[in-house]
Amino acid sequence: MSTVDAAGSGSVAERLRTWDWLSLGYLLFVLAQPYFSPDPAWWEWPLATVVCASTVVLYAVALLRGRSARLVWSSIVPMVVIGALATPFNADASVLFVYAAAAAGKALPWHVARRWFAGLTVLDFATALVSRVPIPYRLLGFGSALVLIWVVGLLEIRQHDRRRELENQRLRSSQVGLMATIAERERIARDLHDLLGHSLTAVVMRAQLTRELVLADPQRACAEAEEIERNAREALSAVRSTVTGWRQTNIRAELEAARRALAGTGVALRVDYDGGLILLAATEHELGLALREAVTNVARHANASTCHIGLDADEGRVRLVIADDGIGGSAPEGTGLTGLRERITGLGGAVQRTGSPGTTLTITVPVEVAG
């Protein structure tokens, strides 16, 4: 039997099928006995012809049906019966036992197939004892079949196992690709939520303020409109870079964005930031997104007058704290905070939220993953 290549499965399958059909060439040995016999009996040629024709049909059934339990009765058993009836008169007809072993190895579980090999071995030996073929030719025909039953049968089992392993590898590869695609979609969805939630909140609030200032203070309304345009452009740029997978946030930029967003809603911001703290890019990106989500919630829901943001390192952990003096409460966490927890947990960190008085969000990550 031929080996299976991992690449080009269609062409490999075609080569395997061609090789299987070429295997029928062993039937020429069945025709060899009457051909080389100096004085063949009248029935030898018809017997050899019937054996060859029936084997071709049964072997074709085995190839077309592949691995099927029905193959035992549609192909393997008829081969064995014809071989058992013909081999006493034509020793080379024992090749049918080899074809039956090949079909069993291809179609049956290995433990069942091996029992078939053992039974075919016994049957080959028994038919050799009652054969009418002279001893030298009898030993040659039955002896070669005795060996080939196991060699061909075990090769078919091995070949089937290899095909199954290749199929399992393809399945695992497709599953890994699917999981990677799902993870990437979830990452983009979280980033888009963080980006658009913050930016659109700032745009909506400034738009409301601009509407109120159009008549009362046109100059300030014009400035707010310019800020709305700038926020919208920044959001558009961030969305584009996020979709392409290249976007990274940093703490300083997020603090400046937080200052602008909270100023638009009348919230005073106080920042305590350890400027000497150096963070890994991946960790700073996640903390920046967490800061953005928390500030968005303060601007949108807290109804606060002041907000405090602190970032420092203490006792082996980097700590980011966002606290406001708003309404607080214990409302269920939304999608944003849930995604924030997932990202911080992925860094080995933790997120703690308290809702009285005001709301305090404390995010900690281990120093070893932070810098």
207 assigned to some structural domain: no
Same domain, 162 and 25: yes
9, two tokens:
């499965």
Same domain, 138 and 20: yes
304 assigned to some structural domain: yes
Q: pLDDT value at position 4?
A: 37
Domain final residue, candidates 148, 176, 204: 176
Cα-flanking dihedrals φ and ψ of residue 272, to 5°?
A: -115, 105
Same domain, 276 and 153: no
192 assigned to some structural domain: no
Domain total in the chain: 2
99 assigned to some structural domain: yes
Length of the chain: 371
260 assigned to some structural domain: no
pTM to 2 decimal places: 0.41
Tens digit of pLDDT at every position of the chain (371 positions): 433 333 343 443 444 455 566 677 777 777 776 676 767 777 777 887 887 888 777 777 776 665 555 666 667 788 788 878 887 787 777 778 888 888 788 777 878 888 888 888 888 777 777 777 667 666 666 777 778 888 888 888 888 788 788 878 877 777 777 787 777 677 767 766 666 666 777 777 778 878 887 777 888 878 878 887 787 777 777 766 665 555 567 788 888 888 888 887 888 999 998 777 888 877 888 888 889 888 888 888 888 899 999 998 877 788 999 999 988 777 777 777 888 888 888 888 899 988 877 889 999 998 876 66
Same domain, 126 and 26: yes
309 assigned to some structural domain: yes
Same domain, 168 and 278: no
191: CB partners within 8 A, 6+ apart: 242, 247, 289
Domain final residue, candidates 122, 142, 176: 176
Same domain, 161 and 285: no
Q: For 52-177, where are the E strands, in sequence order?
A: none
- 317-324 sheet: strands from edge to edge: 268-273, 306-314, 317-324, 359-366, 350-354
Instruction: From residue 79, give the alpha-carbon distance in Å to each of 83, 261, 289.
Output: 6, 84, 71
Q: pLDDT value at position 20?
A: 64
Same domain, 38 and 145: yes
DSSP 161-180: HHHHHHHHHHHHHHHHHHHH
- Which is it for strands 317-324 and 306-314: parallel, antiparallel or unpaired? antiparallel
Q: How far apart are CA 165 and CA 171, in angstroms?
A: 10
201 assigned to some structural domain: no
Q: pLDDT value at position 74?
A: 66
Quote the domain boundaries for residue 33. Answer: 9-176
Domain final residue, candidates 176, 210, 242: 176
Same domain, 22 and 168: yes
Q: What is the CATH number of the domain that holds 360?
A: 3.30.565.10
209 assigned to some structural domain: no
Same domain, 170 and 47: yes
